[in-house]
Chains A and B, each alone.
Chain A
Amino acid sequence: AQKITQTQPGMFVQEKEAVTLDCTYDTSDQSYGLFWYKQPSSGEMIFLIYQGSYDEQNATEGRYSLNFQKARKSANLVISASQLGDSAMYFCAMRDGVSYNQGGKLIFGQGTELSVKP
């Protein structure tokens, strides 16, 4: 069954330090994609980074990188040099073959609330 699990409801990190947000997924498909979104208190979901299941290299976008471990079915988000503006809810999401039949919907995890301390 399709499932995304984020086991950290809340996390704290000191400004300028790196932080890892955990995400594990479950799918029986070989072809799938993994996304991370950021949701500030304003409510809008902001796309951060994408990793395809066949991508050999870990995805990177600026201060964001995705630690993709296919055998372990994990897709952790690493934020380097945390900033106060990084304080937000972070969601891991997946699209797979079942999603394809539902308009390409995304399956979301429960979210992790990150707080960056000055």
Chain B
Amino acid sequence: DVKVTQSSRYLVKRTGEKVFLECVQDMDHENMFWYRQDPGLGLRLIYFSYDVKMKEKGDIPEGYSVSREKKERFSLILESASTNQTSMYLCASSRGYRGGYNEQFFGPGTRLTVL
């Protein structure tokens, strides 16, 4: 069974802390994505990666960075967490082909609260 896992389901951090969100997929997918989900806004793309050590900014990259040292692992980093980064974070992966019917598989999400 295909799987995308995220390191934490719930996380509480303090303003200014450095936060790491980890995502691992076991499908040998080339593409990996980090989305942020907020009520009334749907999901918005933060960063994506199409290969090891490659990363590209999405629509809302400010305040975030990413790391992909291995194909199966994609990390989202909040260098200095702020209260406006309180949100649900969803990781996804897909095959290398970028168009058409190329389903994205999602992890269970991490609900991050920054106090």
Contact = CB atoms under 8 A, between A and B. Distances in A.
Contacts of A109: 42
Interface in A1-46: 4, 6, 9, 31, 33, 35, 37, 42-46
A99 B43 CA distance: 14
B103 A111 contact: no
The contact size tier of chain A is: 20 to 34
A70 to B, nearest CB: 16
B50 A43 contact: no
B66 interface: no
Contacts, number: 74
A110 B59 CA distance: 16
Contact of A44 (B44, B50, B109): B109
A52 B101 contact: yes
A59 B48 CA distance: 28
Contact of A108 (B42, B50, B58, B94): B42
Given A33-B100, A44-B108, A102 B42 contact: no
A105 interface: yes
Interface of B: 9, 31, 33, 35, 40-45, 48-50, 56, 58, 88, 90, 92, 94, 97-109, 111
Given A31-B99, A100-B98, A106-B104, 16 more contacts: A42-B108, A43-B9, A43-B90, A43-B108, A44-B106, A44-B107, A45-B92, A45-B106, A46-B106, A103-B31, A104-B31, A106-B43, A106-B45, A109-B42, A110-B40, A110-B42
